[in-house]
Amino acid sequence: MSHILSLIKKELRELLTPATILPIVIVALLFASLGGLTGGAVEDALTAPPKIAMVNMDDGDFSQIYLDVLADFDDPLVFYSSEESDIEAALAEMKAEGAMATIVIGSDYSSTIENGSRANITIYWNMVGAGMFSSMSTAPVDMMIINVSTQTTHKLIESGMPGEDSGIITSPISYESTTFLGDKELVGVGPAEVSAFLQGQSFMMPLLIMIVIVMLGGIIISSMGQEKENKTLETLLTLPVSRTTIVSGKLIGSAIVGLIFAGVYMLGMNYYMEGLMSMAQDMELAELKLGITETAIVGLMVALAILCALGLCMILGAFAKNYKAAQSLTIPISFLAVIPFFVVMFTDFVNLPLMAQVVLFIIPFTHPMMAMNNMIMGNYELVYYGIAYLVAFNLATVMVTVRLYKSDILLTGLATTLSGGPLGRLMRKR
C-alpha cells in the first residue's frame, strides 16, 4: 500500500507543476469570459425591442395594427412617414440609428386584405454583422410581423368578412425582403439567407486558421522541448552563427511546415468552396463573393498570423524545459486560436462591447479570421489596422525571441533566471 502511495505522490509532484497548472487556470478563465461574451450576444438579440423605420402609405384600418403592436414598446419607431417619396429618407434614418428594418406598406394594403387577398409589404433589413447570431438581430421584427399577422386574422374573423381562402385568413400578410449588408444592397434576399451563405464562406477560413495554428503550435514548441531534452540545444547555440540567424532559421523552417499544412487543408477546402460559389452564382448573393484583391489580402493576413503563431511558440518554447512541459505550453496558443474562432462564428466584432473588442484585437489570430466578413461589410479600416497590428506583432516577437536566446533562460529555465532578477526579488519580498 505504501508503495502505491509513494508512486502516486511522485506522479503528482511530476505532473502538478506551475507549467501544467497555469495553462489550465488560463483556460478556465477564458471559458468564463467567453461564456459572458457569447451569452450576452444571444440574450441581446432575443430580448431587444424592435427598432424600426416605417413608411405607411395606407390609410386603412389594417395598417393601424402595426402601430398598435409597436405601441407596446418604448419608442420603437426611429422614422415614420406616409409619403412614398420618404422611403430613401427612412432607409437613411434606419442605418443612421442602427434600426433593424424599414417596413414599407403600400397604399392598397387595407383594401387588398378587405378584398380577401393576401397583402404584400416590403421589408428592408439592416444587417449589422455577419456572425451566426447576427441574423438573430432580425428576430424582434419577425416576431412583430407574426404578431401583426395574428391580430389581422382576428380582426378579419371578428369583422365577419372572411374570404373564401382559409390559407389567406390565417396568413394574411406576405413580405418581400431586401437586405443591406455594409455598403451592399441585396434585393430579394433575407438576412437568414445572407447569414447562411456567409457562414459557409466565413466559417471555413477561421476553422482552417485555427487548425493550422493549433497543430503548428504543438510542433514548434515540442521541437524546442526536444532540443533541450535531447541535449542538442547547447551545441546549436555554440555554432558560429548569430542568435538572430538561429531564431530566423527556426522561424522560417517552421513557417514552411505551416504553409504546407495550410496548403493541404486549402486543397481539401477548395472542393467545398466551389460548391458554395456555384450556389452564389445562382442567387442574388453573387455580390458577396470575394474578389482577387480581397482573397490576396486574406492570404497575406493568414501568412502573417501563422508567423505570429510561430513567434509566440518560439517564446513559449524557450521556457519549455522538456517535451512534457512543451506540450502543456501549447494550450495557451490553442486557446488564443479558439477564442476568436468562436467569436467570429457566433457574433460579430463590431457588435461586441468595447472591452471584448480590445481583447480580440490584441489576439493576432482574430484578424485573418474576421477579414472576410469585414471586407464584405465594407469595414476596410479594421482590415488595414489588423494588417498593421500583425506586422508590429511579428517584429515584437522576433525581438523578444532574440533577446531570450541571448539570455540564460534557454538553458537554466525561468525560475532560476527570475529569482535573480527584479521580478524574483519582488516575489521573495512577499
Partner 1 sequence: MDALVVRDFHKSYGKHVGVDGISFNVKHGEIFGLIGPNGAGKTTTLRVLSTLLTVTSGDLVVYGKSVVKEPNEVRRIISYLPEDAGAYKNLTGRQYLDFIASFFANGEDRRKMVVRGIEISGLNERIDSKVDTYSKGMTRRLLISRAIMTNPRFAILDEVTSGLDVVNASEIRQIIKEMARSGVTILLSSHNMFEVEHLCDRVALINKGKIVAEGTPSDLKRRYNTTNLEDVFTKVVKG
Ligand X SMILES: Nc1ncnc2c1ncn2[C@@H]1O[C@H](COP(=O)(O)OP(=O)(O)OP(=O)(O)O)[C@@H](O)[C@H]1O
**Site for ligand X, rule CB under 6 A:** 412, 416
Q: Which of 3, 231, 429, 430 binds partner 1 (CB under 8 A)?
A: 231
3 state SS of 364:
coil
Rounded to a whole number of angstroms, the minimum distance from the CB of residue 130 to ligand X is 52
Strand 101-105 to strand 77-81: parallel, antiparallel, or no bridges (unpaired)? unpaired
Nearer to partner 1, 82 or 248 (CB): 248
198: phi then psi, degrees, rounded to nearest 5: -60, -40
Nearer to partner 1, 227 or 348 (CB): 227
Rounded to a whole number of angstroms, the minimum distance from the CB of residue 18 to ligand X is 16
Told to check if 11 binds partner 1 by CB under 8 A, we report no
Told to check if 241 binds partner 1 by CB under 8 A, we report yes
Rounded to a whole number of angstroms, the minimum distance from the CB of residue 411 to ligand X is 7
Told to check if 419 binds partner 1 by CB under 8 A, we report yes
The three-state (H, E, C) secondary structure of 403-417, written as one string: HHHHCCHHHHHHHHH
Told to check if 160 binds partner 1 by CB under 8 A, we report no
Nearer to partner 1, 243 or 324 (CB): 243
Residues 27, 339: Cα–Cα separation, whole Å: 10
Q: Which of 230, 249, 388, 395 binds partner 1 (CB under 8 A)?
A: 230
Say if CB 78 and CB 94 are below 8 A apart. yes
Rounded to a whole number of angstroms, the minimum distance from the CB of residue 235 to partner 1 is 6
Residues 365, 390: Cα–Cα separation, whole Å: 9
Q: Which of 11, 59, 68, 408 binds partner 1 (CB under 8 A)?
A: 408
Residues 372, 293: Cα–Cα separation, whole Å: 11
Say if CB 105 and CB 63 are below 8 A apart. yes
Residues 329, 313: Cα–Cα separation, whole Å: 9
Closest CA to 315 of 334, 301, 302, 329: 329
Told to check if 239 binds partner 1 by CB under 8 A, we report yes
Rounded to a whole number of angstroms, the minimum distance from the CB of residue 228 to partner 1 is 10
Told to check if 407 binds partner 1 by CB under 8 A, we report yes
Q: Which of 234, 268, 296, 385 binds partner 1 (CB under 8 A)?
A: 234
- Alpha carbons within 13 angstroms on the beta-carbon side of residue 86 total 18
Nearer to ligand X, 242 or 412 (CB): 412
Nearer to partner 1, 10 or 425 (CB): 425
Distant-in-sequence, close-in-space partners of 174: CB < 8 Å, separation ≥ 6:
118, 119, 120, 121
Closest CA to 333 of 321, 347, 322, 319: 319
Rounded to a whole number of angstroms, the minimum distance from the CB of residue 408 to ligand X is 8
Among partner 1, ligand X, none, partner that 409 touches (CB below 5 to 8 angstroms by kind): none
Binding site for partner 1 (CB under 8 A): 230-232, 234-235, 237-242, 406-408, 411-412, 415-420, 424
